[in-house]
Structure 1
Amino acid sequence: MSDLGRVLRLDARRTALLVSVPLLTVVGTAAAALSLCPSVAYWDNTVVALVNAVRLLGPVAAALAAWTAVRERPLDYLRDLTARSPATGVLFDLLLLAAAALVSYGAVTAVVVAVTLAQDEAGHPQPMGVAAGAGSLVLHVVAGYLAGRLVPHRATAGFVLGLTAVWAAARVPGVSWWSLLPPAAFDRIALFTALRPEVLADQVTWAAGLTTALILGYVMWATRRFLLVLPLVVALAATVTATLGLHRTGGGTVAPVAAEPVCREWPLTVCVHPALRDALPRLVSAATPVAARLNGTPGAFTALEQRPMWVPVAVNGGVATVHLDEELSGGFAARAVRQISDSLKDATTCAAPPNEYRALVDAWLLDDEPPAVPDTDAARRFASWSETARRAWLRQHFAAYRACALGPADFRTERPRRPVLAKHVRHAASHRPNRSAR
């Protein structure tokens, strides 16, 4: 009983391994921060940050597990003094190490989720993605510890760190299905798309199957209980099935999803993805002058909507559709309204070199500085017109503007309202009574 007590006290002191929790938490938080976008709180990108964090967190956890196995290997003789199975101590170590790793992973998850909740989050949480990262982390712990058990040498921890780091670095997001094997590498998820749940489920199955196979294989080797062959085969079969599932995806990890937009109704109806609701004030401010100047033309619009990148930018039926920068970097609103003016071009007739007169009108539409054009008379004349006169002129010459066919003659007319007023004056004079004839 005294020997058993010594072993139990030795195992109890293994809780000192929990000092690794702060280290893993710091490493995991730093790794997750690299994948988070500070301006967009999209739940799918939160999951991507957690899964990508394992690419850095996993090798560190594997190296710590291997170091623990190497350090404790010389004390195995104490366990042999008890009637316990030779695999019991190993399983206890794996349980403790996995628990420590998962506690740190849970802390990283809490930090990342708190950052997302602190913003105007959009989308839906993906618990399967969190499980995929946790499964991959436990797989690293098991692989690293068993490597330390089988090769009890001080260099083993360094070798495990290097090998797992190379395995993680070999993942290039979006290049091949191979990069989906844990620890998976994901690109940032664009708005209007979401992670495919079947990809995450295959990753969970792959990590769980391989982890189980490693543990069963070691226990079978240590205890010579070959009845474990059947569950070992089942675990390997699950891993192979998940591998085939990831291979069938062909690297496609996302699918389009609908998103209920958030809108402002005045003075224009402007709608964006809920993750970009902070863009509404500046977008309304930038789009309102353009909408006012295009009023009365075939390019007029009373609503502006953000659409996915695969939907073309256009003005149709009074609705202008644009693309927005997800980071909302400086000038995003100006770039969005410029897309509107560009969409008004006729693709066939505007394929030639840029029309300098159209550029002059675009600068007015977008409140940009007027460009330097060779025809200074046209530029000076257009600059002298009032805002109302320019809008009337654009309604008259919109077809030439769309076709990039504006020329000097279009700017040599009088101010658009003057000919109309003169016509009415002449008409009134022709019907005035001739008092001299009386």
Structure 2
Amino acid sequence: MREHRGVSREELKNSAIVTVTVLMVLGLVAAWSVLIPGVMVWDNVMVAVIGSLRLTGPVAAAFAAWVAVRKHRAIRGELTAWRALKAPLAILAVVTGSFGATVLLLTLRAVLSEQAGRLLPSGLAMGAAGLALYVVLGWMLGWGVPYAITPLLAGTGTYALFTWIADGSGWADRLAPATPEPYDLFQGLSAGAFLNQTLWLLGISAALLLGWAAAVTRQRLALAAAMVAVLTAGTGVARLLAEPRPFATAQKVVYSCQEWPITVCVHPGMRGGLTELGSAFTGIAARLSGTPAAFQRVEQRSRLAAGDAPQGVIPIHVDDLDAGYADRAAAEFVERLSRPCADAVAGGYRAIVAAWLRGEPLPAGPLAAHQNASTWFSGLSEEQRREWLRMFYADFAGCRLSAGHFGGFTYAPRPSPTPLMPAGPSRWEPGGMPSPAM
């Protein structure tokens, strides 16, 4: 078997095939875990592809370190710049090829369904540039520390380093090959920001690799090229730091809406959730009819957005279309209707009304007073409950409900269809319940 600088060609070929396969499988698994369930938008695919680098990058660094250890041990004679750069460039080609295959498979999946937005080539370039940095760091570590344990150190070290940088705060997190988390659908990805980060990542990768080549070959041309790469990296960093918010740019969203029985509007990438959201909020809208919280339109909004909605319009937050998304959005909205209760007793009464608004079974509660209130409230018809909420909505919103609001302490609920309120005039008593007029 022919040897290539101490490493057989067959060994290198087999190692490359194994690495490509591992990187493809790992990249698909990692990207799939990052994808927001049910969201059909190209930005979602882009974030998933870049997010897969957290796992594929360390594997690429470990592979580069393994090859560097073998090459360093087997090197003989004086190195030229081409001979020094040939192996790491070949590793870069292998790793980039596996990244391209992962992108292709995810893109084919996305093409089969109608995606909102557009694919950003600069984002793909940033992902490839990020992998290049992993490879260069792994190569340099393997060359500088040629021991059997070095590939493991390269993989774990790069994973810890970039995870720490990406999860940190301040300006440093902009330099990591990652996108901001959590990702917000209502803030589009910026092609310009991706381009700036590509300049930084390619520049620093080239500077490190050419600087290493200049050190091992003692050639001034490699050193000069490394200085040019440093300038490129500096340009990318300067442009990145000049942006107030990396990647995210405000964009006007053209909603996808369902008009009946109430209007429900969501991000076009989440239009698959319109039916379930409409069912969840139609019942809530009917129960809140006639109260200050009545609404006819539901709009999905960004969690980062500020500002009040117009009268009759309620903003909701839907992070994904995973199982139970409509119930979670409805529960979050109902929680906003009243302020939190500092008193556990008042909170128990509030929980009874909130459960009814969500369409859930009424909770009994740990206290006898709560159990009596739940029994009394369950004995009312749906129309009686709505009339009750119209009367006492202010007390519910202000968390001022008490036993007196639920028939008093001695009231025995009757499931008969008798009206909740007396037909004649009434006056209000301190307990909050109406009593016949004198």
Change (3 A) 1:102 1:227: closer
Secondary structure of 2:169 counterpart: coil
Q: 1 CA distance for matches of 2:152 and 2:223?
A: 32
Of 351, 362, 373, which residue of structure 2 is paired with 1:370? 362
Structure 1 CA distance, aligned partners of 2:65 and 2:217? 21
Task: Judging by fraction of residues, say which structure has more helix.
Answer: 1
| 1:219, distance to aligned residue in structure 2 (A) | 4.6
TM-score (ref. length: structure 2): 0.75
Partner Cα distance (1:238, 1:119) in 2 = 39
Quote the Cα distance in structure 2 between the aligned partners of 1:174 and 1:148: 27
Give 1:127-146 correspondences, 5 Å limit. 127-146=121-140
C-alpha spacing 1:309/1:234, structure 2 compared with 1 (3 Å): same
Q: Secondary structure at the match of 1:171?
A: helix
Tell me the amino acid that sits aligned with residue 56 of structure 1: L
Deviation (angstroms), 1:276? 2.6
Conservation of the 8 A alpha-carbon contact between 1:138 and 1:211: yes
CA, structure 1 residues 314+386, in 2 after alignment: closer, same or farther (shift >3 Å)? farther
Is structure 2 residue 283 aligned with structure 1 residue 279?
no
Name 2:220's counterpart in structure 1. 226
Contact 1:314 1:344 in 2 (8 A): no
- Alignment-derived partner of residue 51 in structure 2: 52
User: Any idea what the Cα deviations from partners look like across 1:265-320, whole Å, max 9, x if unmatched?
Assistant: 11111112223323222221122222223333333221111222244797752222
Give per-residue Cα distances to partners, 1:112-150, cap 9 Å, x unaligned. Answer: 334444556444323222211211212333444455556
Question: 1:23 aligned to 2:22?
Answer: yes
The 10-residue stretch of structure 1 (390-399 or 132-141) with the greater mean CA deviation from structure 2: 390-399
Whether 1:415 aligns to 2:419 is yes
Letter in 2 for 1:366: R
Change (3 A) 1:293 1:90: same
Describe the shift of the 1:351–1:169 C-alpha distance in structure 2 as closer, same or farther (beyond 3 A): closer
Indicate how the Cα distance of structure 1 residues 200 and 155 shifts in structure 2: closer, same or farther if over 3 A, else same. Answer: same
- Note closer, same or farther for the CA distance 1:131–1:415 as it changes in structure 2 (3 Å cut): same
Q: 1:184 to 1:335 in 2, by over 3 A?
A: closer
- CA 1:368–1:155 in structure 2 vs 1: closer, same or farther (change >3 Å)? closer
Q: For residues 324-335 of structure 1, what are the structure 2 equivalents within 5 Å?
A: 324-330=318-324, 332-335=325-328
Which segment is superposed worse, 41-50 or 284-293?
41-50
Query: SS at the partner of 2:229?
Result: helix
Q: Could you say what secondary structure the match of 1:305 adopts?
A: strand
Shift of 1:367: 2.6
Distance 2:212 2:372 in 1: 87
Structure 1 residues 357 and 312, CA gap change in structure 2 (3 angstroms): farther
> Distance in 2 between the 1:136 and 1:376 partners?
59
Aligned to 1:125, what secondary structure does the other structure show?
coil
Quote the residue 1:88 is aligned against: 82
Q: Contact 1:315–1:340 at 8 Å: present in 2 too? A: no
User: Percent same amino acid at aligned positions?
Assistant: 33
Structure 2, unmatched stretches of 5+, are: 412-417, 426-438
Measured against aligned partners, the alpha-carbon deviations of 1:193-219 in whole angstroms (never above 9, x if no partner) come to 234445433321122112222343345
Residues of 2 paired with 1:377 and 1:64: CA distance?
Answer: 68
- Residue 336 of structure 1 corresponds to 329
Q: TM-score, normalised by structure 1?
A: 0.75
Provide closer, same or farther for how the CA distance between residues 403 and 201 of structure 1 changes in structure 2, counting only shifts above 3 A. same
Cα distance in 1 for residues equivalent to 2:317 and 2:47: 23
Root mean square deviation of aligned Cα: 4.1
Q: Deviations over 1:215-248 (max 9, x none)?
A: 4334544655425544432211222343344455
Q: Within 5 A, what are the aligned runs for 1:144-293?
A: 144-146=138-140, 148=142, 156-184=150-178, 186-221=180-215, 224-247=218-241, 253-293=247-287
Rg larger in structure: 1
What's the offset of the Cα at 1:357? 5.5
Q: What is the Cα deviation at residue 328 of structure 1?
A: 3.4
The CA distance in 2 between the partners of 1:16 and 1:233, in whole Å, is: 36
